[in-house]
Amino acid sequence: MKKTIYALAIILGVCVIIYFLLIAREKRTYAPQRVESFLEIDSSLVDRVEFWIFNTKMVFEKKGENWHATEPDSFKVDKRQVGQLLGLAANLEVQDLISTNPEKQIFFQVDTLSGTTLNLLSQGKTVASLVVGKTSTDFAQTYVRKRGSNEVWSAKGFLSRIVGRRIDEWRDKSILELDPEKIEAIEFIKKKGSFRLTKADTLWLLSPSPYAESFDTKQDKVIDFVDRIAILRTDAFASLPDIAELDFKKSVLQLKVTSDDGSEEILTMTQKSKEDTRYFVEKQGEETIFILYQGSFDYINREIEDFKSEAEPSA
C-alpha cells in the first residue's frame, strides 16, 4: 500500500515538473519587452469585423449605432460584445516575443489553418489583421501574430475566448430595450380579456376592452412588470423549419408598448401547437423570430386581475 502511495506521489511530482517546464517553455522570450497598443487602432472608427477560421468566414458590419451580421447568416449582433472585442483589440498589450520561427506557429495555433484571423476595417480599408491562437497553459495570456509577420507574441487577456464564440453567442438577445420611465402604455390584445395599462402622470390605470372605463391598479405590481418588460430578452431563436410552420395570424397574445414620444413596439406571439411549450415572437419591423419558453411567456401573459386593485372604477 505504501509503495503504491509513493509511486503515485512520484508520478504526481513528475507531472507538476513537466507542467511548469511547459509554462517556462511557452514563456521563453526572444526579446523581453512590453508593447502597449499593439495594433494602434481607433476602435470607434472600425465599421466592419471579419473572422476567418480555416475556410469559414463570419462578418459583422456597423449600421448606425448597431452591428449586424452579414455572413454566413443575417442577424442583429450584440453591440456590447462587439464593443468588448474592439476595446480589447485597441488596447491589446503584448508582453513577450515567443517565437520568430514559422514552423512553430502551429504549436501556438497562430497559423492560418488552426488560428482565427481577425480583420478590422474602416471605410473599406483594413486597419488591423491579426491571427489569434490558443491561450497559454496558465490561461492568463493569448498567443497572437500580425498577418504578414512571423513574430508570435503573448498578449494579456482572453482574446482567444472572445473570437472563439459560436455564431449564436454573438446574436443580440434583446427583444425590447426601452427606458421604463418613458413607457406610457402597454396593451394586451387577446381573443378574450384584452386590456390596457396607461400611465396618468405618475400613476398607472387599467382599462378593459373596449376601454370605456378605468380602474386603479396595484402600482407596485405594474411598475415591476414595466421594469422587466422594458428589457425583455429572448430565450432562444427560431430555426428556419420552425418559421415555415408558424402562422402569426393565429396569435395567442399581442403586446403593444407605447413610449412618451409616440413610438410603438408591437410583439405578436404564437405557438406551433397547443402541446408546444415554446412561444414564437414576431417583433414588428424585424426579421428575427424569437422564442420564449413557457415560464417567460407566462410572466408576460397577464390577466386583468394581476394588476387591478379593489378600488371602484375611476371616472
Give the pLDDT band of residue 13 (cuts 50, 70, 90). Answer: low
Q: What is the pTM of this model?
A: 0.73
Rounded Cα distance between 58 and 73, Å, is 8
Long-range Cβ pairs for the range 214-220 (8 Å, 24+): 214/313, 214/314, 215/308, 215/309, 215/311, 215/313, 215/314, 216/308, 216/309, 216/311, 216/314, 217/307, 217/308, 217/309, 218/307, 218/308, 218/309
Give the pLDDT band of residue 32 (cuts 50, 70, 90). Answer: very low
Helix (H) or strand (E) run with residue 18 in it: helix 2-26
pLDDT score, position 4: 62
Residue 1, pLDDT above cutoff 80: no
pLDDT score, position 168: 86
Residue 221, pLDDT above cutoff 50: yes
Give the pLDDT band of residue 106 (cuts 50, 70, 90). Answer: very high
Q: Which residue has the higher pLDDT, 9 or 58?
A: 58
Q: Which three cell numbers stand for residue 101?
A: 520561427
Residues 6+ apart with CB under 8 A from 72: 56, 57, 58, 167
Of the chain, the end-to-end C-alpha distance in Å amounts to 88
| % of the chain beyond a pLDDT of 90 | 64
Place of cell 387599467: 206
pLDDT score, position 40: 85
Rounded Cα distance between 253 and 273, Å, is 14
Residues 6+ apart with CB under 8 A from 37: 90, 91, 92, 93
Give mean pLDDT, residues 65-85. Answer: 92
Mean pLDDT value across the chain: 87
Residue 14, pLDDT above cutoff 70: no
- Give the pLDDT confidence of 125-157 residue by residue, as tens digits: 999 999 999 988 877 889 999 999 999 999 988
Residue 19, pLDDT above cutoff 50: no
| % of the chain beyond a pLDDT of 70 | 87
pLDDT score, position 74: 87
- Of 215, 249, 230, nearest to 179 by C-alpha is 230
Q: Which residue has the higher pLDDT, 62 or 9?
A: 62
Local structure of residue 10 (DSSP, 8 states):
H
